[in-house]
Amino acid sequence: MLHEVGLAEAARRRIGGFSLGMKQRLGIATALLGDPPVLMFDEPVNGMDPEGVLWMRRLFRRLAAEGRTVFLSSHLMSEMENTADQLVVIGRGRLIAAESVRDFAARSTRLSVVVGTPQAAELAAVLTIAGASFEPEGSPGTEKLAVTGLPADRIGALAFENRIQLNELTTRTASLEEAFMELTADSVEYQAGQPR
């Protein structure tokens, strides 16, 4: 197991001298000793370096592919987005969601369409008439708009009807973190103030 988690060369070292990441790896080795069908890890990437995080993601996916159930508990939404297939969200002791990561993120109202065009002013006028909202996307002069209120296919059709050239038309969903913050806003127990 030490070889499995990358600690074979540290086999004779005292644990007290291990870094936090090494201790995390040792904990995983210990959990795997009994060849369990169900594994539960709480904040497993805490203290891991980037290589360790990537290794851990691959390990968890491999264990799941072997038919094991792998539970990960984490407050790092970006890590869950990169690692998990299914998500269970609990807030104040109540089940908020139990679904795929993709479905959870899709429930967010932060759906927008990024539109790139050399005719941004003309497109803005057409979008306003159609009832969409938009704001400039990216740095000034990039001629991109982030549009809400219309799906990509409708924006494309409006541009075509009005002879407006499009260089990009990309639907952008919320990140898992954005969706999580939006969908759990009523379940936050200890709300911090706004930074100054």
In order of their start, the domains of the chain are 8-84 (3.40.50.300), 112-172 (3.30.70.100)
Q: How far apart are CA 194 and CA 196, in angstroms?
A: 6
**What pLDDT shows up at residue 94?**
85
pTM for this model (two decimals)? 0.63
Does 84 have pLDDT greater than 70?
yes
**Rounded mean pLDDT of 39-58?**
91
113 in Cβ contact with 152 (< 8 Å): yes
Does 190 have pLDDT greater than 60?
no
Half-sphere exposure for 186 (CA within 13 Å, toward CB): 4
Greater confidence (81 vs 71) lies with: 71
